[in-house]
Amino acid sequence: MHERAGQPAQPEDLIDVGEVVSAYYDREPEPDDPAQQVVFGTSGHRGSSLDNAFNEAHIAATTAAIVEYRRSQGYDGPLYLGRDTHALSEPAWRTAIEVLAAADVEIRIDARDSWTPTPAVSHSILRDNGAGTSGGVRTEGPGLADGIVVTPSHNPPRDGGFKYNPPHGGPAGSDATSAIADRANELLRAGWKQIPRVPFEQALAAETTRKNDYLSAYVDDLVNVLDLEVIRSAGVRIGADPLGGASVEYWAAIAERYGLDLTVVNPEVDPRWSFMTLDTDGKIRMDCSSPNAMASLRRVMATDLEAAKQLPAGSTWLDLRTLPTTDGTALPYDIATGNDADSDRHGIVTPDGGLMNPNHYLAVAIEYLCQYRPDWPNAAIGKTLVSSALIDRVVAGLDRRLIEVPVGFKYFVPGLLDGSVGFGGEESAGASFLRKDGSVWTTDKDGILLALLASEITATTGMNPSELHRNLVRRYGQSAYARIDAPATREQKARLKQLQPDDVAADELAGEPIVDRLVEAPGNGEAIGGLKVTTESAWFAARPSGTEDVYKIYAESFRGEDHLAQVQAEAKQVVDAALEG
């Protein structure tokens, strides 16, 4: 951990916005350098202009490749275009508009000339394609809409990001992203300045460029996916921190539209993120699942936890409301929440438990929704294979079907789209779920939705999510969960992706027999790009990093922290032996 993790950023930690934006226009990538090519990860192409990895050339080429791809697929409806608050997002958004206008693509840009959360873009794509109507979502035929979101999500301020969402509204699959990236790199090599473009002001004035009120469409529709009246009538006091991201105006609109006792904790937008506390590695990162990045909001919610422990058994959030904080003042909020820059992730802070582990909150949300959404009788629950096994136990206790998929929200899209999956969630604090009637809401992660759900849970049950997690622990056991990194060469990472179950020679892990060795996700048969090994009370999963010379080891044990440490140590031995073999 960095020595200043969790401490406020200092001037030396901040980017020079002018330098970052100038580099976007002034620097050109070397098309034959893999580090400077267009590469789509699980959430689009990301990089920094300062590294020649996210420059005007990349965005012009990628947008042109998207134009060609959507035409090849017959997508001829409007393209919904949104951006977040990163310094590189507006320049990239402008470049995309110039290329799209030159190609006569119908564009839908924000009516307020402002920021657009990822879930609002997904919501608008789906509504255009029929979501919320008796006919349901169309995925074939003329007039299909799709979209682009200009965002690197929670990445540091120096980075930019660019992702494509097809007509299903969610992250594009590897078939689409591979085709787009390959074609974009061909255009870079051929000379990106030959790509047709229209001057920005002319592009804005084009008949094909139209305004879309993303905010009203999203906020007005929330009543069909959440019980906002129960939040209002219970008087739940909410503190929402956008962390300087695209949700800032949405939270204010939600409070006004539904009469909620909701305060936007920090309405400031600064592309340097000078108000942030440093993440675990000492960088500014808008990761709402990180205790260090969320240190400011955690301090706002800090109560005298020792006093909380003295409350009588059965006490709930209603008793905590009058509990004095360490400075003797009243607790300001019953629930506090955070979002990352494009609002597709959520962080939940409770007065009696601090920032919740994302796995813990997912388990609570799943049990609550399955009990309080009567029109979801047959909907399965989706989780990534590196999410907590507590979710497995909760889903089994609900007698629901569990669908375990590889890392990547795109794997939940088909089930959310047709209503067969009621909830899809990732261990990295990204999730979405169905409308109350069992139809699709968004097929991309929705951090605003999951943040508001915490208040609905509190209002409906009389207990906050931390209290409900403690109830789950009493029923299903306490687990220890962590992720560590281990060094790996490029060749070893490639080998890890190709491992087979027989490559694991060990038959025990941390004193327990190995019961399963997985290289494909049981929920959909897709390759997991690594290995997962399970025992009766523990598991680990190893996956190569896409950006660093390491592989990631996710591990969990229901036998405590010491056993988890043993699982982690032996996991590294198992993987290293398999890679050497």
CA angle 357–363–364, rounded 5-degree value:
90
Of residues 41, 121, 169, 133, the one with CA closest to residue 448: 121
Q: CB–CB of 290/262 below 8 Å?
A: no
| Amino acid in the structure at residue 493 | K
Q: Which residues are catalytic?
A: 153
Of residues 413, 422, 409, the one with CA closest to residue 370: 422
Q: What is the DSSP-derived secondary structure letter of residue 324?
A: B
* Cα–Cα dist 215/111, whole Å: 9
H or E segment to which residue 550 belongs? strand 550-557
* Cα–Cα dist 547/299, whole Å: 33
Between the CA of residue 268 and those of 6, 244, 246, 264, 271, what are the distances in Å?
A: 19, 6, 11, 10, 10
CA dihedral 255, 257, 258, 262 (to 10 degrees): 0
Helix axes of 447-461 and 465-476: crossing angle, nearest 10 degrees: 80
* Cα–Cα dist 392/447, whole Å: 22
The residues facing 534 across adjacent strands are: 516, 539
Task: Give the three-state DSSP class for 212.
Answer: strand
> How many CB atoms lie under 10 A from the CB of residue 547?
10
Between the CA of residue 563 and those of 70, 411, 511, 514, 539, what are the distances in Å?
A: 50, 31, 9, 15, 11
CB-based contacts of 403, cutoff 8 Å, min separation 6: 380, 381, 382, 383, 415, 421, 523, 524
Q: CB–CB of 155/161 below 8 Å?
A: yes
| Amino acid in the structure at residue 266 | N
Cα within 13 Å of Cα(352), Cβ side: 23
Backbone angles phi, psi at 178, to 5 degrees: -65, -45
Of residues 106, 77, 59, 95, the one with CA closest to residue 198: 95
- Judge residue 373's burial from the number of C-beta atoms within 10 Å of its C-beta, 0-12 exposed, 13-18 middle, 19 or more buried: buried
Q: For the chain, give percent helix, strand, coil, nearest 5.
A: 40, 20, 40
DSSP characters for 283-340? S----TT-TTTTHHHHHHT---HHHHHTSPTT--HHHHTT-B-TTSPBPS-SEEEEE-
Helix axes of 358-372 and 447-461: crossing angle, nearest 10 degrees: 60
Task: Provide the sign of the torsion angle of the four alpha carbons 434, 121, 217, 241, taken in this order.
Answer: positive
Backbone angles phi, psi at 449, to 5 degrees: -60, -50
Q: CB–CB of 215/249 below 8 Å?
A: yes
